[in-house]
Amino acid sequence: MYDLVSLGELLIDFTPAGISENENLLFECNPGGAPANVSAALAKLGKKTAFIGKVGNDRFGMFLKDTLAGLNVNIDGLVFSQDVNTTLAFVHLDESGDRSFSFYRKPGADIMLEADEVNYDMIKNSKIFHFGSVSMTHQPSRDATIRSAGFAKENGLIVSFDPNLRVPLWTDLNAAKEMIKIGLSLADILKISEEELYFLTDTEDIEEGSKVLYNEYGEKLMFITLGAKGCFYRLGDNTGHLPAYDVNTIDTTGAGDAFMGGILYQVIEKQKSFDEYTVDDIRVMVDFANAAGSLATAKRGAIPALPSLDDIIEVLDTGKRISG
């Protein structure tokens, strides 16, 4: 039995790594892809995880396979394309470490995952199924994602969804909204950024926007990530906010996935049904996840920056929360 199976993109993040002697911009090759990051995050915290997705049969694909395997993420569900290369993303950082992206994905192997290539037995033998919307931008991975999430729901898994909206990957933002709404309709646990909340609800009021989504989709647990400002949470009609931890931020790539891993780690540890959760439970979960997300910003890359359980516990014990 797996604690978590994730499905979606596994790709290369090229992150800025300084300037060469010839004064050219250097990029470092890092493993990434939000669903894969979440599987890796939980594996680093000692949980049994697996990943389902598609990469190219190239050096990048082999590097990604070896990275996940090296973290003890099961890769029996990883498919290799003979025709399409591994997807590449170039990450551009501003002075505060915030990101923008350029993608090489026309097509990329991640969007070529077919529904009949998915290992459904792997999904059935898991506690949590996690996915996002990046694998819903194009066919055939759109159908593979929706079918897999529906299968997980039908088989009684906890379904976790992080839209992870990447505007450059969508040719039609109305289609993006519709696909994300399908994800919302299947999700028990939702992690969403404040920008994504505004995109879906047209309101900048986080309390009101989260209420709109809750009333329409009924997510059991909802977390709106606010970057350096921490996280807003909703448990039914109960809402609140907890601050992030103060770290030397270098690169925010993967911070949200580390946060998501922290939340799902706590869900697995608590072994409660959703109607048993208290506000105190949620605050413990969010504080733990905030520590994980904050730590992930202190290193370059996504998977390489994911914290260990000892790292998180140390921050919880000694770290300073951001005030204001």
pLDDT tens-digit profile, the chain (324 residues) = 999 999 999 999 898 888 999 999 899 999 999 999 999 999 999 999 999 999 999 999 999 999 999 999 999 999 999 999 999 999 887 776 666 788 999 999 999 999 999 999 999 999 999 999 999 999 999 999 999 999 999 999 999 999 999 999 999 999 999 999 999 999 999 999 999 999 999 999 999 999 999 999 999 999 999 988 999 999 999 999 999 998 888 878 789 999 999 999 999 999 999 999 999 999 999 999 999 999 999 888 789 889 999 999 999 998 888 875
Structure confidence at residue 171 (pLDDT)? 93
Rounded to the nearest 5 degrees, what angle is found at the Cα of 136, between the Cα atoms of 124 and 306? 70
- Which helix (H) or strand (E) segment holds residue 50: the answer is strand 49-56
* Contacts of residue 268, Cβ cutoff 8 Å, sequence gap at least 6: 3, 4, 42, 47, 127, 128
Structure confidence at residue 320 (pLDDT)? 84
SS3 217: helix
Structure confidence at residue 261 (pLDDT)? 98
Compute the distance between CA of residue 74 and CA of residue 44 in angstroms, rounded to an integer: 13
Amino acid (1-letter code) at residue 132 = G
Given the structure tokens 């933002």, which residue do they identify? 173
Tens-place pLDDT, residues 39-53: 999 999 999 999 999
Structure confidence at residue 101 (pLDDT)? 80
SS3 27: strand
Class of domain 2-318 (CATH, top level): alpha beta
Structure confidence at residue 97 (pLDDT)? 61
Please provide the distance, in angstroms rounded to a whole number, between the alpha carbons at the two ends of the chain.
43
Compute the distance between CA of residue 114 and CA of residue 45 in angstroms, rounded to an integer: 30
Half-sphere exposure at residue 236, Cβ-oriented, CA atoms within 13 angstroms: 7
Compute the distance between CA of residue 285 and CA of residue 142 in angstroms, rounded to an integer: 31
Domain positions in the chain: 2-318
Structure confidence at residue 324 (pLDDT)? 57
Q: What is the pTM of this model?
A: 0.96
* Residue 270 in tokens: 């608590």
* Contacts of residue 53, Cβ cutoff 8 Å, sequence gap at least 6: 7, 8, 9, 10, 33, 35, 36, 77, 78, 79, 110, 113, 135
The dihedrals phi and psi of 44, each to the nearest 5 degrees, come to -65, -20
